[in-house]
């Protein structure tokens, strides 16, 4: 789905991979992903999230924190979340030029800057658990929320 399909009557928020990962790998004493998403908000993420999430899950399998069966289940749940429109995955090409500019300006990885670019263009909050993304991103876009 593209930006033109985003419902204009809903509040939008951008979630990065670090936040979505909490859905699959909850941390002790960490709030549930639902606790920091406003009721009725449309969750958005650039398409890079698909790769980042799977990459992070595979890393946890490699570390022994997650079994292959749980990985398969997490990917299945993720696919359902996207197909059920819990999260709208936006094609990254619509934001890539802004993300490149941000990456150069902030001296920060391009994939993280895609999340900032989407939030800026959609004029909505970006929710992250990535402290570096939060600290650098706040210098160019104040509507970033850090969840620890």
Q: Place 12 in a pLDDT band, splitting at 50, 70 and 90.
A: very high
Element (H, E) at 90: strand 87-90
Domain boundaries, the chain: 3-146
CATH architecture of 3-146: 3-Layer(aba) Sandwich (3.40)
Please report where in the chains the tokens 């595979």 appear, as a residue: 58
For the whole model, what pTM was predicted? 0.85
Cα 5 from Cα 18, distance rounded (Å):
25
- Tens digit of each residue's pLDDT (9 = 90 or more) over 34-91: 666 777 788 999 999 999 999 999 999 999 989 999 999 999 999 998 999 889 999 9
Handedness of CA 54, 60, 65, 68 (dihedral sign): positive
Which pLDDT belongs to residue 40? 77
């Amino acid at each position: 789905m593209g930006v033109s399909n985003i419902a204009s009557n809903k509040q939008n928020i951008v979630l990065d991979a670090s936040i979505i990962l909490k859905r699959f790998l909850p941390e002790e004493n960490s709030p549930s992903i639902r606790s920091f998403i406003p009721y009725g908000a449309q969750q958005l993420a650039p398409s890079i999230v698909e790769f980042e999430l799977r990459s992070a899950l595979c890393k946890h399998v490699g570390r022994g924190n997650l079994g292959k069966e749980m990985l398969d289940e997490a990917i299945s749940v993720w696919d359902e979340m996207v197909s059920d429109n819990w999260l709208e995955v936006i094609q990254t090409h619509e934001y890539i030029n802004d993300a490149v500019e941000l990456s150069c300006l902030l001296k920060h990885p391009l994939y993280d800057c895609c999340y900032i670019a989407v939030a800026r263009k959609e004029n909505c909050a970006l929710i992250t658990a990535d402290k570096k993304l939060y600290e650098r991103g706040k210098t160019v876009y104040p509507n970033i929320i850090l969840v620890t």
